[in-house]
Amino acid sequence: MRVLAISGSLRRDSNNTALLRALREEAPAGVEVEVWDGLKGIPPYDVDDDLVPGPPKVEAFRTLVREADAIFFATPEYNSSIPGALKNALDWASRPIAANAFRNKPVAVIGSSAGAFGGVWAAAELRKVLAAMGARVTEVELVVGHAHDKLDEVGELADDDIRDELREALDLLLAEAEPAVAVA
């Protein structure tokens, strides 16, 4: 089982990216979590550039999504919503709409922020966008407030309760990603 982990933050010392590194450490045997580092390279979405094939970095992103069994997002919240870079990457990935790489793909969304609410509105917005794209949105609802206080001096997650919650979130996602029972 292969899980692509996508952080909505570009910041080098991002809390969200740290959560995804911790997720990678907590993954059970047989589950590979790849933390994607290509978000900053995705160009701004432009219909004029939306050709077949698309820009190389966009096509590489679409391929990563298609080849993953599930996608795990961790997003900060900017102005009560999704960071523009993340939304931009999803807008690229959502094309063509009817056959986009996220269609039927199991996804989980968590959020974290320096504030008390942990990016709960951004996470909700992200779930809405992913559902509209046709993804299989799981009921994971983990948000981590005051996230910078949960990291150690080298920027790694140092909170066992949150590690437990990350494992539970990953378990939920993996259960959703189990191959569907064929119905005749």
Partner 1 sequence: MSTIEQQATGTFAADPVHSHVGFEVPYAVATFSGEVPEFTASLVDGHLEGSAKIQSLRLKDENLQAHVLSPEFFDAERHPVLTFSGDLARDGDKATIDGEITIKGITHPATLTGTIVGPTLDHFGATRIGLTLETVVDRTAFDIKWNMPLPSGEPALGNEVTLKADLTLVAQEA
Residues that bind partner 1 (CB under 8 A): 97-99, 103-104, 131-132, 134-137, 180-181, 183-184
Alpha-carbon Rg for the chain in angstroms: 16
Tokens representing 180 are 């569907």
Phi-psi region of 79 (alpha: psi -120 to 50; beta: other; left: phi over 0): left
* Token pair recorded at residue 106: 């199991």
CB of 173 to partner 1, least distance (A): 14
In the bound complex, what is the minimum distance in angstroms from residue 136's beta carbon to partner 1? 5
Nearer to partner 1, 83 or 106 (CB): 106
Please report how close the Cβ of residue 95 comes to partner 1 at its closest, in angstroms: 11
Cβ closest to partner 1, residue 51 vs residue 99: 99
For partner 1, which is the closer residue by CB, 52 or 99? 99
How far does CA 175 lie from the centroid of its chain? 17
Work out how close the CB of 62 gets to partner 1 at its nearest, in angstroms, rounded to a whole number: 16
Instruction: Supply the minimum distance, in Å, between the C-beta of residue 96 and partner 1.
Output: 8
Q: With 0-12 CB in 10 A as exposed, 13-18 as middle and 19+ as buried, what is 52?
A: exposed
The alpha carbon torsion through 54, 59, 128, 180 (nearest 10 deg) reads 130
Structural tokens at position 36: 């994607």
Closer residue to partner 1 in complex, CB, 87/136 = 136
Taking the least distance from each CB to partner 1, the nearer of 132 and 156 is: 132
> Would you say 73 and 126 are in contact if contact means Cβ atoms under 8 Å apart?
yes
